[in-house]
Amino acid sequence: MSEGSDFYVKFWGVRGSIACPGEEYQRYGGNTSCLEVRDGENLLIFDAGTGLRRLGAYLAVNGTPPEGLLGDLFLTHTHHDHIVGLPFFVPMFNPKNRIRIWAGHLDGEHSLKEVLRRFMAAPLFPVPPDVFAADVSYHDFKSGELLEPRPGVTLRTATLNHPNGSTGYRIDSNGKSICYITDTEHSGEGPDPNIVELVQGADLMIYDCSYTDDEYPRFKGWGHSTWQEGARLCDAAGVKRLVIFHHDPSHDDVFMDRIAEEAERLRPGTIVACEGDIIRP
């Protein structure tokens, strides 16, 4: 990526499974998965949960140059909580904008464009993707491939363990790295080698910490992991900082405070993602 640029991630949605409005979710946030990664002028968006709506409103006012916006949106997968914000993303309705949407979990069974058309189709949704006025393109790839969406911007990818598939991403810039690993389930037989290889030596790993180790046995097979497993994975791969992410809808602010305290004792420097947080690796 560009030399000497500012490299950071901003969290627009941190919740998993379903959006959670209410007073008990005010501090950590109730919107589902959406991250904004910036490296200079490069805009990379990860997942299109309900948090994407707020990001779109911000970009429409503050982040769109006169000639239009170029943005790349990378999906981990296409379960509803990770795509439900897409029809409400304001930049999709500006004809000057170019939005490229990427997914690597479909393995040729369905195309990304087909899946999103089915999502935005009657009787589930009133208008199809044709309503988007922006120049929108759809890019299928296979998890494990190296992506270069534009010159100087490269992303490494890996297959994750989740029903219907999911993709993990690593973005490197000027010796710093951000890894986004969500909607994955650990095997219980040691760290996932696919993930270890992807995140090896990374500065920041944003990880699916839906459950605690105590809760996990009740949800085995649901495709999610624990914050303690995230810490073990960081230790195994030499990752500097863990970011706890994809908070379960049953985990309100008080519960998340307890996780934050326990995580700090177990692995000092661990961060619990809150909506609006900006973190630099």
pLDDT of residue 63: 77
pLDDT of residue 5: 64
pLDDT of residue 3: 45
DSSP for residue 226: B
pLDDT of residue 103: 98
pLDDT of residue 85: 98
Distance CA 182, CA 153 (A): 21
Distance CA 26, CA 20 (A): 10
pLDDT of residue 189: 84
- Dihedral, CA of residue 100, residue 39, residue 168 and residue 89, to nearest 10: -40
Higher pLDDT pick, 152 / 38: 38
Mean pLDDT over residues 37-62, rounded?
Answer: 95
pLDDT of residue 152: 82
pLDDT of residue 62: 87
Structure-token match 């992506």, residue found: 147
pLDDT of residue 174: 87
Report in angstroms the alpha-carbon separations of 99 from 12, 148, 234, 266.
Answer: 18, 15, 33, 41
Confidence of residue 4 (pLDDT cuts 50, 70, 90): very low
| pLDDT at position 131 over 50 | yes
Confidence of residue 116 (pLDDT cuts 50, 70, 90): very high
Mean pLDDT over residues 5-19, rounded?
Answer: 95
Distance CA 218, CA 129 (A): 38
- Give residue-wise pLDDT tens across range 192-244: 999 999 999 999 999 999 999 999 999 999 999 999 999 999 999 999 999 99
| pLDDT at position 64 over 60 | yes
Least confidently predicted of 1-15, 144-158, 255-269: 1-15
Q: For residue 44, report the phi and psi dihedrals to the nearest 5 degrees.
A: -120, 125
The per-residue pLDDT of the chain, averaged, comes to: 95
What domains are defined for the chain? 7-279 (3.60.15.10)
Mean pLDDT over residues 19-46, rounded?
Answer: 95
Structure-token match 């029903």, residue found: 163
| CA quadruple 106, 118, 53, 51: dihedral sign | negative
Mean pLDDT over residues 132-152, rounded?
Answer: 95
| pLDDT at position 107 over 90 | no
Give the list of residues 6+ apart from residue 83 with CB closer than 8 angstroms, or none: 47, 48, 49, 75, 116, 119
Cis peptide before 95 (omega within 30 of 0): no
